[in-house]
């Protein structure tokens, strides 16, 4: 199934407004029905999901539609991850030297699946309606800060999988796990600190006239 077909089916499911999460999960699962990851195809399909889900113009309705679509997308991606992980694990158990680079590539794709999903949705947000695209961007920003079910499953599974891998593959499986979420959390903390500092400055400016007024009254007396 092409990305354009995915987008059309997702948009129709969203317009119908019934069982959006289930429909998105089914459509995405059908488009990504493979034993191993085909990265470029997967990116295009996710972008199609994002474009189809972010066409709404009414803010509240668009938020509900994108939230349900994101839930369905994650369910489908969890299934894709699990199937690809099992295939890679089986092939890693009989790895030979000439095949090592291919397995490393597959492990990187598994490890980075959450980032791939969020990056692809960010691309899709560039093509949505003004309202729907902003909702989709907000969804991605929140997911980067707080993490996703997919990211949690990927991290836990890759740590478990690494224990059964040859040493040459273990580092690839674990490299950078959780780093994006930690970076997002730190960025949120920094932003919170900056906003808190701005608020303190503004409170100080608000208080200054009162202090000056009090000083003036004292001098008068």
Residue 215 binned pLDDT confidence (cut-offs 50, 70, 90):
low
**Residue 133 and residue 25 in one domain:** yes
Which residue carries 């059908």 as its tokens? 30
**Residue 75 and residue 164 in one domain:** yes
Whole-number Å distance between alpha carbons of 55 and 133: 7
Residue 220 binned pLDDT confidence (cut-offs 50, 70, 90):
very low
Q: How many domains does the chain have?
A: 2
Residue 100 binned pLDDT confidence (cut-offs 50, 70, 90):
confident
**Residue 93 and residue 195 in one domain:** no
Whole-number Å distance between alpha carbons of 127 and 185: 28
Q: What angle do CA 76, 80, 83 make, to 5 degrees?
A: 140
**Residue 169 and residue 216 in one domain:** no
Q: Residue 212's pLDDT is what?
A: 55
Q: Residue 173's pLDDT is what?
A: 77
More confident residue, 140 or 102: 140
Cα Rg of the chain (Å, integer): 24
Q: Residue 165's pLDDT is what?
A: 80
CA atoms within 13 A on the CB side of 21: 8
**Residue 123 and residue 184 in one domain:** no
Residues in the chain: 221
Is the pLDDT confidence value at 218 over 90? Answer: no
CB atoms within 10 A of CB 165: 21
Residue 221 binned pLDDT confidence (cut-offs 50, 70, 90):
very low
Q: Which two tokens stand for residue 25?
A: 């999960």
Nearest to 110 by CA among 51, 169, 189: 169
**Residue 209 and residue 146 in one domain:** no
Q: What is the pLDDT of residues 168-204, one digit of tens each?
A: 777 777 776 665 454 444 444 444 444 455 445 455 5
Helix axes 3-16, 59-92, angle to 10 degrees: 140
> How far separated are the first and last CA of the chain, in Å rounded?
84
Give the mean pLDDT of the chain. Answer: 80
Q: Which spans in 93-178 are helix H?
A: 100-111, 113-125, 130-146, 149-162, 167-174
More confident residue, 90 or 20: 20
**Residue 35 and residue 112 in one domain:** yes
**Residue 164 and residue 197 in one domain:** no
**Residue 186's domain spans which residues?**
179-221
Q: What is the pLDDT of residues 43-80, one digit of tens each?
A: 999 999 999 999 888 888 999 999 999 999 999 999 99
**Residue 198 and residue 208 in one domain:** yes
More confident residue, 26 or 37: 26
Percent of the chain, pLDDT > 70? 75
Whole-number Å distance between alpha carbons of 9 and 40: 20
């Amino acid at each position: 199934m092409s990305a354009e077909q995915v987008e059309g089916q997702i948009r129709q499911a969203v317009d119908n407004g019934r069982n959006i999460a289930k429909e998105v999960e089914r459509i995405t699962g059908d488009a990504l029905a493979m034993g191993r990851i085909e990265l470029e195809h997967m990116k295009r399909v996710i972008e199609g999901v994002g474009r189809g889900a972010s066409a709404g113009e009414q803010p509240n309705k668009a938020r509900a539609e994108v939230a349900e679509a994101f839930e369905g997308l994650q369910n489908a991606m969890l299934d894709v991850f699990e199937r690809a992980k099992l295939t890679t694990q089986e092939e890693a158990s009989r790895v030979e030297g000439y095949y090592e680079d291919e397995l490393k590539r597959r492990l990187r794709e598994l490890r980075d699946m959450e980032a791939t999903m969020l990056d692809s949705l960010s691309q899709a947000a560039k093509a949505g309606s003004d309202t729907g695209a902003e909702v989709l961007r907000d969804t991605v920003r929140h997911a980067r800060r707080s993490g996703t079910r997919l990211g949690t499953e990927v991290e836990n599974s890759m740590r478990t999988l690494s224990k059964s891998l040859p040493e040459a593959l273990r580092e690839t499986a674990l490299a950078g796990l959780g780093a994006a979420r930690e970076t997002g959390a730190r960025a949120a903390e920094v932003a919170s600190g900056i906003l808190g500092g701005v608020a303190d400055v503004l409170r100080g400016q608000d208080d200054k006239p009162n202090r000056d007024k009090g000083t003036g009254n004292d001098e008068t007396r």
